[in-house]
A and B are shown apart, each in its own frame.
Chain A
Amino acid sequence: MSTLSESRTGKVAAASAGAEGVRPPLRAGRARVSPHRRRRRWLGLAYLAPALLVYAVVVLLPAVQGVRLSFYHWDGVTSATWAGFANYTGFVHDPTLRQAVAHTLFFIVFFSVLPIALGMSSAALTARRDVRGSGVYRWIIFLPQVLTPAVAAVVWKRIYAPAGPINSVLTAFGLGGLTRGWLGDYTWALPALGLAGTWGAYGLCMVLFGAGIQNIPSELYDAARMDGAGPLREFFTVTLPGLRGQLAVVLTLTMLGAIRVFDIVWLTTRGGPGTSTITPTVVLYQRAFANPDVGAACAIGVVLAVVSLIISLVVVKLSESDD
């Protein structure tokens, strides 16, 4: 990290030195370095200022406002009243919100754990081998990443419909008794949506892991084989440690995806049947826009942001711990 930023500063310094070349040379000695460096520092900040300003106005300011609003009861129009932590205690005593949190944990399995397991094993199986048409497979498996979530939601709605392809296949195999409206079923709606999430994240995992495996020096594999390691041993001693960086990226991305899942739920079941697929983001949307309770919506948003931040920090720390 530090080398990288040093070298960047070096370049900036060189550029600014070039610009100042016309100035008369200053006296040599300690005093010469210090103001120069300081100026360079301010110059760096000046370069950063436009981006920083936009970031402050677009991200930081609303974030601070959101935190503030979360301590009020507010319908978005009339005067707000101070709420203290009342909007936050909803996570404890509001059954809908508690259920939503439980669903998030369930979704982490489907949006993060499963795609990582699948993506890593298929990458390990294919990346170091010449599989005919592997580019095409990779393209097909990566496709969900390219699709707009709304489109994916419509497709899955159709797949799970009572007259949809899943039920047709089941009937064709004489399993007509198992057919149902999958998204309208209290037991199956949540796993059904979870599976759609697995499908969505699988491609990203596989492509990232595949690229990671190709970066592992093949000498390591040769060495492992010389020591008599089988394919399984090879995976755990060479491939898995070599993929630590990718794993951190994928884990962060997919975990945050699981915490923020909204579009597919809202566009298929709206959290139903009953509240059996409700997620914190769906509750947030309902409270912010449908039933104006802006403070409660902000509290959910703040909690989600904090949890996401903690998860990213933990993942980054874990992945760097031995370095």
Chain B
Amino acid sequence: MVSRRRTGRIGIMLVPVAMTALLAGCMPGTDAGTAGNSVSSGPVSTDPATMGNITLQVLDSFSGGTDNAWMTSVVSAFEQKYPNITIKRTSLPWGDVMAALPLKLKSANPPDIVPANNGWQSLGTLVRGGLVLNLDNYAKAYGWKQTFPQSIANEHEFSTDGKQMGTGSMFGAPVARASVIEVYYNRALLKRIGAGIPSTLADFQADLAKAKSAGVNPISLGNVDQGGITEPLFSLMDSLGSPADIADFVYSHGLVNIDRTGFPKAVSTLKQWSDKGYLTKDYAGVAAADAAQDFVNGQGLFHFDYSGSLPLKAGQSKNFGSFVLPRADGGKPVATASSAANFSVSAKSKHADAAAAFLNFAAGTQAAELAVKKGTMPLLHPDVKAPAGDPLFTDDVAIAQRLSVDGASVPYLDWSTPTLLNTINTTMQNMLAGKSTPSAVVSAARQNDAAFVKTLAR
């Protein structure tokens, strides 16, 4: 009995604690809102040398491999050029950054520079919460809108009320490193089946048929962890749809119907490939990483993946090449492509001038040169050359150059709503397993988009 009475008393003591939490905790998410999103009128400084001694806190997701090598070299080049500015990096895995970003930006002392992901899931929400700085003054001062290809600049733009994407003010900036969905090919296998690098989608499908009849696995693909379908799907969409319509759909401009993006045809084409046995046997049970490894081990003619993501060992890259899936109409190839990161500046940053100067540097020529030096695909600077001796990387750099010159990048389809990626992945699995039809995938995507556009309450 003694112990029970005590428990009771302790319980009573805890009630005020709970009540305080209920009452003192303010309304969740009250914040600055979008009021502070318009550009300030004051002049901005673009000469870091005159800014005095400053320490910039940078949060990034370049936590390993070439990512980290590039970022480290860019930071030290910047510090060398401007010794009065010190950069303190915090590097976390991608998922951790995305989960922690809103909390970090709301804290009293947030990082100056953060890697918010483009699209509604991250950057769009942060803009609506007034947590990231409108960079238009800096874009003007540094001439970003003239030097960046428009298709890339759009990927970092939102209206100041946070209701429109792909237009309005720049709330982030690209870096001089690309992330592109491309097709890798095995040089020896392509030669063995007597095929060349395709220049139209029909050519590509002919190669698939040739590989199949020669007993070669046409496309190495694994999707058990929902990690292997969007790459070929988005590539097919870019091959079949008009780039302007794809961009307008993603940015919800003028309410473009998803039917005009090439998405429906892409879904049904992928189903045909699956039915014809062009994809790895039992791909539904293969892990995406295993499919990439199988491709590197020579078990597949083609593999759709992001640039720089093959698990290559030293010396293996000479066996492979890359290209962007050619257009169905034989026109200039279009690729789902963006900067490897969107860097935004915290709205609370006390060193916005210095932060913008670093953003400008990370998007500059020297950063692009460092990218090719570290073996990662450059962006924004079509004139940088790949070092000799790595044929796969030479292909990659050529792709980046062409996309830059042609302005042929389209944004990732899944930026258009926070939940579209999940919807596509689950409905595509259902469809490919024969549990539903391609039109069910399309209508699920259409509904997902319509529901989200409604919540923007324009």
Contacts and interface: CB of A to CB of B under 8 A. Distances in A.
Given A5-B2, A69-B28, A292 B125 contact: yes
Contacts, number: 141
A286 B99 CA distance: 11
A79 B283 contact: no
B35 interface: no
Q: Is the interface of B mostly helix, strand, loop or mixed?
A: helix
Contact of B282 (A76, A79, A157, A180): A180
A78 B29 CA distance: 5
B102 A76 contact: yes
The interface centre, meaning the residue of A41, A64, A72, A268 with most chain B CB atoms within 10 A of its CB, is A64
A26 to B, nearest CB: 22
Given A161-B290, A162-B285, A186-B435, A79 B33 contact: yes
Contact of B2 (A6, A77, A185, A271): A6
A184 B121 contact: no
A183 B2 contact: no
Interface stretch (B141-149, B379-387, B418-426): B418-426
Contacts of A80: 27-29
A214 interface: no
B432 to A, nearest CB: 9
A291 B28 contact: no
A83 to B, nearest CB: 11
A64 B3 contact: no
B286 A184 contact: yes
B28 A162 contact: no
B224 interface: yes
Interface stretch (B16-24, B212-220, B325-333, B389-397): B16-24
Interface stretch (B126-134, B193-201, B403-411): B126-134
A290 to B, nearest CB: 7
Interface in B279-301: 281-287, 290
A79 B31 contact: yes
A122 B35 CA distance: 67
A139 interface: no
Contacts of A182: 285
B91 interface: no
Contacts of B226: 269-270, 272
A82 B435 CA distance: 38
A76 B283 CA distance: 36
Contacts of A180: 282, 285
A78 B129 contact: yes
Interface string B411-433: 00000001101100111011001
B31 A9 contact: no
A124 B283 CA distance: 43
A183 B25 CA distance: 44
A17 interface: no
Interface in A59-84: 60-61, 64-65, 68-69, 72, 74-80
Interface residues of A, number: 51
A268 B22 contact: no
B30 interface: yes
A41 B224 CA distance: 58
B433 A2 contact: no
Interface in B353-369: none
Nearest to A289: B99
A161 B10 contact: no
Given A290-B422, A291-B121, A270 B225 contact: yes
Interface in A281-323: 286, 289-292, 294
A301 B101 CA distance: 22
A160 interface: yes
Given A60-B18, A274-B429, A289 B287 contact: no
A64 B18 contact: yes
Interface in B169-208: none
A9 B4 CA distance: 13
A9 B224 contact: no
B418 A181 contact: no
Interface string A173-199: 000000011111110000000000000
B418 A292 contact: yes
Contact of B419 (A1, A48, A61, A291): A291
A161 B293 CA distance: 14
Contact of B433 (A1, A41, A274): A274
Given A270-B425, A292-B418, 7 more contacts: A5-B3, A181-B224, A184-B223, A269-B224, A270-B225, A290-B419, A290-B422
20 contacts: A44-B6, A64-B22, A65-B25, A68-B28, A72-B28, A74-B28, A77-B125, A77-B128, A157-B287, A181-B282, A181-B286, A271-B426, A272-B425, A273-B429, A273-B433, A274-B429, A274-B435, A289-B95, A289-B98, A290-B419
Interface of A: 1-2, 5-6, 9, 41, 44-45, 48, 52, 56, 60-61, 64-65, 68-69, 72, 74-80, 157, 160-162, 180-186, 267-275, 286, 289-292, 294
Closest 9 CB pairs of A and B: A181-B285, A184-B284, A184-B285, A77-B129, A181-B282, A162-B282, A5-B3, A80-B28, A273-B429
